[in-house]
Structure formats: structure tokens, C-alpha cells
Amino acid sequence: MLKQRLLTVAVILPLLLGLIFLAPNWLWSLATLAAMPVASVEWARLSRFGPAATWAFAVATTGLCAALLAYALAAASPAGEALLLQAVCALATLFWLTAVPAWLHFRWQVRSRALLGALGVILLVPLWLALVYLQRVPVLLLTLGVVWIADTAAYFAGHAFGKRKLAPEISPGKTVEGVVGAYAAVLCYGLLVSLLAQPKAEAADHVAVLAFIGILTALSVGGDLFESWMKRQSGLKDSGQLLPGHGGLLGRIDSLTAAMPFAALYLSGLLA
């Protein structure tokens, strides 16, 4: 399984990095938009939608993102774009910071197709909008790095030292030691980036970077757990089989669905 994971990353990562660094924002927007139907179908699978509802949901989410892209390309005012981004990402962040912790604590189960569809929109559309903005700024790789490092460090720390289960009724494989390893890794990463990017900054500025990264990491863990709970509710092991060794696309972006809207919200205010 680890070999499959590494081979998949070796194929996808160069393409992703090329798009992040070399593609104009409109091309990056279209490339990420092309992934939206795949993620939407996988969410519909977790939600146990029938064929008609699955395709209707995929069309709705992809169409909504396409409409947002058309708005941005139609010479919309920068102020209007910023307001739209911040409104969408603020609502998504509020959901992840308030509703999801309660959801996981009480282990709510949702059967309503309408509510499950609304949840899918909350997960996918703000993520796409945040990815488009962060590539334009550009700080996308730095923020993605937080989530990737946290995920990787949690995997290896959990396998090496994991004894205490983090949430056994939601995701039996995740451990407290894995989360501690994730935090240790991302805080080292964040401090290094902060020192290199702003060598003359005051200590308070470095602390602010670490606080931002700490919140980002907590959200990424919440996104991972939420998708795990949805898989458990639906009785499925994975959302799909698109990526060898990784399962579905949704399983690779579950942490990003929670973390990226907050990153875009915070950085859009900071860089305004």
C-alpha cells in the first residue's frame, strides 16, 4: 500500500506543481474545475444518491463553480471578487469551526438527500474558490504544504508510536500520537518558513504565523475525520478508487475542504 501511495504521488505531484507555478490562473481554475465532477460523484456515492441525483448534484456543483469563474473572468471588480471570496469562505469556515465539532462529538447521521447535497456544496465549492484565489496570490504551495506535512507526519508518527485512539468510533486508525506528530512537524515547517520569509520580523509576527498554521492543522484533522464519519455512515471503505493506494479523490482532499477556505479567508484579509 505504501509503495502504491508513493508511486501515485510521484506521478501526480510534478503535474500539480507545474500547474501551481507555471499555469496562469485561468488555466489553474479550469484544471481544478475539471476535478469537481469527480469529487461530486464521490460525495454522491457516500450520500447514497441514485444515478439521477448523482449526476444532478455533479452538474449543480460544477455549474456553480463555472458561474463563479465566469463572474471572475467577466472583468468583475476586484472589490466584488474579494467580497464574494470572503463571504463564501467565511460561511465555510464557520461550518467547520462550529457545526463539524458538534457533528463529530454527537456522531449525527444524516439521511436527508437535500441536506446531504447542501453539505456537499459546502465542502466542494468553497474549496475550489479558495484554491483558485491562493494560486493567484500566490501562497498556494505554502498552505498546501501545511496539510500535506500534517497528513504525512500523522501517518508515520501514528504507525511508529500510536497507542491511544483519537476517535475510534469515527476513524479507528487515527491516534493521538499521530496528531502530536503532525503538530510537531507543521510547527517546525511554519517556523522555518516564517524565519526565511521575514527574517527581521518581531517575535509576535512569528507567533501569528504559528497560530495560523495551528488552526489550519486543526481544521485539516477535522476535515479528515468528517469524511471518515461520512464513509462510516454510508458503510463504504473509500469514496472511490481513482488513485491507487489512496482511494478516491475525495479522500485526498478531505483535509483541504476544511483548511483551504480558512486559509483563503485569513490571507485575503492579511494581503488586502
Over residues 143-171, the mean pLDDT reads: 92
What does the pLDDT read at residue 272? 57
Identify the band that residue 69 occupies on the pLDDT scale cut at 50, 70 and 90: confident
User: How far are the Cα atoms of 48, 174, 232 from residue 235, in angstroms, in the given order?
Assistant: 10, 18, 5
Identify the band that residue 117 occupies on the pLDDT scale cut at 50, 70 and 90: very high
| Separation between Cα atoms, residue 204 and residue 229, nearest integer Å | 37
Q: Is the pLDDT of residue 245 over 70?
A: no
What does the pLDDT read at residue 118? 95
Identify the band that residue 76 occupies on the pLDDT scale cut at 50, 70 and 90: low
Q: Is the pLDDT of residue 256 over 70?
A: yes
Over residues 83-99, the mean pLDDT reads: 94
DSSP 173: E
Q: Is the pLDDT of residue 77 over 80?
A: no
Over residues 183-189, the mean pLDDT reads: 96
What does the pLDDT read at residue 244? 53
Q: Is the pLDDT of residue 216 over 80?
A: yes
What does the pLDDT read at residue 242? 64
Q: pLDDT averaged over the chain?
A: 89
Q: Is the pLDDT of residue 220 over 90?
A: yes
| Separation between Cα atoms, residue 138 and residue 235, nearest integer Å | 39
What does the pLDDT read at residue 223? 95
Question: On the CB side of 63, how many CA atoms lie within 13 Å of its CA?
Answer: 6
DSSP characters over 18-81 = HHHHHS-HHHHHHHHHHHHHHHHHHHHHHTT--HHHHHHHHHHHHHHHHHHHHHHHTT--HHHH
